[in-house]
Amino acid sequence: MVIAMGFEGSANKLGIGIIKDGEVLSNPRRTFITPPGTGFLPAETAQHHQSKILDLTEEALKTAGITPSDVDVLCYTKGPGMAPPLMSVAVVARTLAQLWKKPIIGVNHCIGHIEMGRAVTGAKNPTVLYVSGGNTQVIAYSQQRYRIFGETIDIAVGNCLDRFARVLRLSNDPSPGFNIEQLAKQGVKYLAIPYTVKGMDVSFSGILSYIEEKADGLISSGQYTPADLCFSLQETIFAMLVEITERAMAHCGSNEVLLVGGVGCNIRLQEMMGQMAKERGALLHATDDRYCIDNGAMIAQAGLCEFNSGVTTKLDDTFITQRFRTDEVHVGWRS
C-alpha cells in the first residue's frame, strides 16, 4: 500500500502525480505555452513552474483524497532536462521531504516514461521508442539496464517539429506538434525531404535546416501549402523512426514495441509503427496524452519501482543534472 508522489518539470510541462498500488489517484498538469513563432526559454519556464507548483501540489493531494502524512515517498525528476525548471521542482520536493519527513528519490525522466508505459500498457519486455521534444532514443532492456540501441545524433524529433511549427507560426496551444499533426491531415502534395538514418541512429538538424530554408519560398510561390509541408515532414521523419525501431527489434528478436514520450501521442506515428509491427507479427503498445506527455505520475511510478527495490536518494545527493543517460540507472527492480 505504498503511496508515491511524483514531481515533474524538466521542460515546459509541470506535473504532479500520486500513485497508490499501481493506481493513479491524481495527475494534474500545467503547460507553459509561448506565443506562435516562439519557443520556451529556461528562465521563463522556471518562473512559470515556480508560480504554479504550490497550487498544483495542493490540487494533486486534494484530487487524490490524501494528506501529506499518507505519502510514503517523494519522487522528483533529477534529469535530464533544462536546469532552471528542474531546479524549481527539485527545491520544492526537497523542502517537502524535510517538512513531511519523507524519503526522497531522484528519478531519470526517460525511465519515468518507460516505466509508466509498461505499467499502463502491460507490455512485458518491449523495444521502446522514446520520442519527445527533448529526447529521441530506441531503448531495450538487458541485464538491469535500459540500453540505448539507437538515438538522434543531434536534435530530438520533437524539437525538429516544434521549431518547424515556429517557421509556420502555428499556435503552441496545446502543443506545436499537435497542431502540425492536425495540419498534416490536410496535406496532399509530397515534398521529397532528406532522409537521414545513420545505421542505428538518426539525424534531424539537417532536415530542419533544409525545410526552414525552403518553406517560405515554396509557400509564397504557391507550389506547396503549409499542410503539404507538415505532411511531408511527418512522413519522412516518422519513417526514419520506424526504420531504426525495426532494426533494434530485429537485433533483439523482439515482438513488442512501446511508444512513449510526447511525440508518441501522434496518431500518424502510431499508425506507421503499428503497420511495421504487424508485418513482423509484433504488437504495438501506446498510451494516450495523459501519460505520453510529461506528467508527474510517471515520475512517481519509476520512483516507486526504485523505492520497492530498496533505493532512496540522500538529501545531499538530490541535485539536478541536465544530462542523465538512460543507461546510467541500475534497473534493480527487473531481473
Partner 1 sequence: MSCASAFDATLTIEIPFPSSEIAEIVFRTLSVDREPPRGNVRKELALSGNTLTAVLIARDPKNLRTAANKFLDYVKLTVDTINRFG
**What is the smallest separation between the CB atom of 93 and partner 1, expressed in angstroms?**
9
**What is the smallest separation between the CB atom of 319 and partner 1, expressed in angstroms?**
5
**What is the smallest separation between the CB atom of 92 and partner 1, expressed in angstroms?**
5
**What is the smallest separation between the CB atom of 57 and partner 1, expressed in angstroms?**
7
285 is in an annotated binding site: no
308 is in an annotated binding site: no
Hey, how many other C-beta atoms are within 10 angstroms of the C-beta on 266?
25
**What is the smallest separation between the CB atom of 59 and partner 1, expressed in angstroms?**
12
255 is in an annotated binding site: no
181 is in an annotated binding site: yes
The residue among 43 and 250 lying less far from partner 1, judged by its C-beta, is: 43
**What is the smallest separation between the CB atom of 209 and partner 1, expressed in angstroms?**
26
The residue among 100 and 190 lying less far from partner 1, judged by its C-beta, is: 100
Q: How far apart are CA 308 and CA 319, in angstroms?
A: 22
39 is in an annotated binding site: no
The residue among 46 and 263 lying less far from partner 1, judged by its C-beta, is: 46
The residue among 91 and 239 lying less far from partner 1, judged by its C-beta, is: 91
The residue among 190 and 319 lying less far from partner 1, judged by its C-beta, is: 319
Nearest 5 degrees, angle CA 224-CA 226-CA 229?
A: 70
Hey, how many other C-beta atoms are within 10 angstroms of the C-beta on 6?
31
| Interface ranges with partner 1 (CB under 8 A) | 46-47, 50, 53-54, 57-58, 68, 83-84, 87-88, 90-92, 94-96, 98-100, 315-320
The residue among 183 and 299 lying less far from partner 1, judged by its C-beta, is: 299
70 is in an annotated binding site: no
266 is in an annotated binding site: yes
72 is in an annotated binding site: no
Q: Which residues are annotated as a binding site for a divalent metal cation?
A: 109, 113, 130, 294
User: Which residues does the annotation place in the binding site?
Assistant: 109, 113, 130-134, 162, 177, 181, 266, 294
| Binding-site annotation, residues for substrate | 130-134, 162, 177, 181, 266
